[in-house]
A and B are shown apart, each in its own frame.
Chain A
Amino acid sequence: MSVAAATTVIGKRRATRVASNPDRRRRVRTAFLFLTPSLIGVVLFLVIPVIFVMVLSLTRWNLLTPIKWVGFSNYANIFRFDGFGHSLLVTAYYVVLNIPFQTVLALGLALLLNNKRTGSAFIRIICVLPFLATPVAMGVVWNWFFSPTGIINQILAHVGITGPAWLSDQATAMPVIAFASIWQYAGYNMLFFLAGLQAIPLSLYEAASIDGGTKIQQFRRVTLPLLRPALLFVLVTTVIGSFQVFDTVYVMTAGGPGNATKVANLNIYNTAFAGFRIGEASAMSVVLFLIILVITVAQFRYFNKRTTYEIG
């Protein structure tokens, strides 16, 4: 088949393919060659560990003495003795603090900055700056900001309020941690909402305003439904990320005061790498994984039920 003939059948897959077997075999080999590195990575560092952790959760082991098989008893013990139930509650509290505020803030920033006014472009860039910060390094800065004599309390003192010892007070420690996360990721998530906003055809807004809708009604009936894919993406990723919060907590409160900020990931870390209880830590990991999985699936199903359709 000549090149000319081939190009006249644009879009029809079969017609453009020269069905010569050695050529196809070579291409399939190349395809697998391309795929091999990431495939090795995925299997070795993702698939196998997931299976392995489930196996490890049935053991009692500290890496130095022989493995003991204890069946499912770890799953009960992590709740009775390792305070994992409390850790899950603390983590859930963090998620509840973090997700709504962060999502609303990200959406708000996107709505606010989705224009061509002078300064908007610059501020859009500023919003992404926190995303680059090493959470540990920024956590140190927050320690300084929120220390009893730090700038936050200094500002509050100017208006006559005595600020609490933010990170030593059980009531305020977790909100501060949530604040650090919101600060870090709101701008990054704003980008996804911006992309979503910019993909909404202007014609829809025209139609809505012709129908006599106010701005708020337009927002509810046009913007929000069409932002669902972006919203789903942001929610799923931030929820998965929130359940695994570690860096900020490690450097700001180390789980304190008391156990007020001892999130699940920190508990797993302490159990596995300070206590060297591999079996219990593995059981904790599996439980956390299942919880995240269930929530993610629930999110997908909730959003799929209300899918919007392509507007031509």
Chain B
Amino acid sequence: MNVQRPWRFSLRPARTLVRVAVAVIALTLLSGCAGWGFGGSGSGSANGPVTLVYSLWDPHEQVGYQQSIDVFEKMHPDIKVDIENVPYGSYQQKITAEFITGGAPDLFWVNTPWLGSFVKNGMLTNIAPLIKASHINMGQYYPQLVALHSVGSKIYGLPKDWDTIALYYNKAYFAKLHLAVPANLSWNANGTGSFVTFLKAATTDKSGHNALSPQFNPNQIATYALGVNNDPQGGWGNYVAEAGGKIIPFPYAPLASLTTPAVNAGMSFLTDTLTNAHVIVPGALSGPNANGNNLEQMFAQGQVAMWEEGDWNTVSVKSSVTFPVGVTTLPIGPEGRISVFNGLIDGINSHTRYPKQAWELEQWLGSAQSQAILGAGGYVWPAIKSLDPLFLKYWAKNGIDMSAFLTEAHGKVVNFPVSPGIGDALTEVGNDLGPAWLGTESASQALKTAQTDANYILRTS
């Protein structure tokens, strides 16, 4: 190919390129200086004011936490706290990735699905010696929460809140049906019991017949009695527990126990019995993979009479419904009334640059003063037992009686399972159980697949 232009001397390109190269090097060096370092992402010198970074996900609770932090900052003028909201969907990944890159927050919320992984990865500080040195009374907290966050003699955070699962119900709907919502319904694995009967009475088709009536048309249901989702905490977890089943045999177990007869009984009660009785929202309607995403809206629109969920949904329920809402306890199963019990802690970054200040903040958030602010503002149930009435009072003033959640907390509860990788494992379990909820597979078959997948993840996490 011929050269199109004669070559000619030109100093311009060379000079320009040299200038550009110098600029590149300068920029590169500058940007390197602007890079971020290791350790906690907080800032500050040893003697000057220290800024801690505190990560959480719930924007409603964040308001309460900000109030609590404001008080803390007044009491500790040398510590500032920056609250960073990290969306729940990617929270575990983000915090882990930040830990790997060396920029993790100094304190961060830890939820039980990833508590085991964080512990195993060495991301959390063991605060047992600090608790002893500061003489903190661990008896003030719910003992199940202390156990949940302990591994042997180590403990990874001060309990600060708890959740149970109960049934939100549409008071107006039940009033219209002249149906009282009893407190002590019960169910048996074979499908008998007052619970099923009640649910039938509460399900109405478009012509107004309930499911007990011979003219009931299951293809024309206007309102389902109950919405339960494919979830180990807010959904089937409670029925499995009430049948005596366990998701994993013991905390930090490297395998699942989903194929036991008890788990099968609890699961198929939901996927077979209640589905065949047409009293619960079918899996396909409740959301992708029956995850219940649609249930809140259906409840607000009057298509579901009772919505089984955890108490953290109260703010959302209050703002989306137009009818008075009541809360009643879960039904009583073969092993009694059992709710899944969970609570968060604030984990201290094991590589924080300000361990002293981080412990100050941790102590504050675990203290009665801070938890009173959060309880009285109706943000969350405080982990300190004596402060529960504050939360109850707030919601009573706002028209919702939350005592059902409290009754369950004082009764039999089973902790959310904790083990490295359990969060991912339960996501897989949810995927594998989907067909059972959609009616295309038996519960026992779905549980077998779920068991295999969960075992692999638990074993390799």
List residues of chain A with CB under 8 Å of any chain B CB. 60, 62-65, 77, 80-81, 257-258, 273-277
Contact = CB atoms under 8 A, between A and B. Distances in A.
Nearest to B421: A275
Contacts of B120: 65
Contacts of B93: 273-274, 276
Contacts of B453: 81
Contacts of A273: 93, 97
A273 B90 CA distance: 11
Nearest to A73: B460
Contact of B122 (A65, A80, A275): A65
B424 interface: yes
14 contacts: A60-B460, A62-B121, A64-B99, A64-B123, A77-B460, A80-B456, A81-B457, A257-B288, A258-B288, A273-B97, A274-B90, A274-B93, A276-B96, A277-B460
A60 B421 CA distance: 14
B151 interface: no
Interface string B82-110: 00000000100100110110000000000
A275 B120 CA distance: 14
Interface string B417-461: 000000010000000000000000000000000000100110011
How big is the B interface, by class?
Answer: 10 to 19
A65 B121 contact: yes
Given A65-B122, A257-B288, A274-B93, A77 B424 contact: no
Chain B interface mostly: helix
A63 B100 contact: yes
Interface of B: 90, 93, 96-97, 99-100, 120-123, 288, 424, 453, 456-457, 460-461
Contacts of B424: 275
Contacts of A80: 456
Contacts of B461: 62
B281 to A, nearest CB: 20
Contacts of A257: 288
Contact of A77 (B90, B100, B456): B456
A92 B322 CA distance: 50
A56 B52 CA distance: 36
Nearest to B428: A81
A64 B122 contact: yes
Contacts of B460: 60, 77, 277
A62 B100 CA distance: 10
Given A62-B121, A64-B121, 6 more contacts: A64-B122, A64-B123, A81-B453, A81-B457, A258-B288, A275-B424
A86 to B, nearest CB: 12
B460 to A, nearest CB: 6
A253 B152 CA distance: 43
A60 B120 CA distance: 14
Contacts of A274: 90, 93
Nearest to A275: B424
A257 B287 CA distance: 12
Contacts of A77: 456, 460
Contacts of B100: 63-64, 276
Contacts of B99: 64
Contacts of B121: 62, 64-65
Contacts of A277: 460
Nearest to A259: B431
A65 B420 CA distance: 12
A277 B461 CA distance: 8
Contacts of A65: 120-122
A80 B120 CA distance: 25
Nearest to A274: B93
A79 to B, nearest CB: 12
A64 B420 CA distance: 13
Contacts of A64: 96, 99-100, 121-123
In order of increasing CB-CB distance, the 6 nearest A-B pairs are A64-B121, A81-B456, A274-B93, A63-B100, A60-B460, A65-B121
Contacts of B96: 64, 276
Nearest to A277: B460
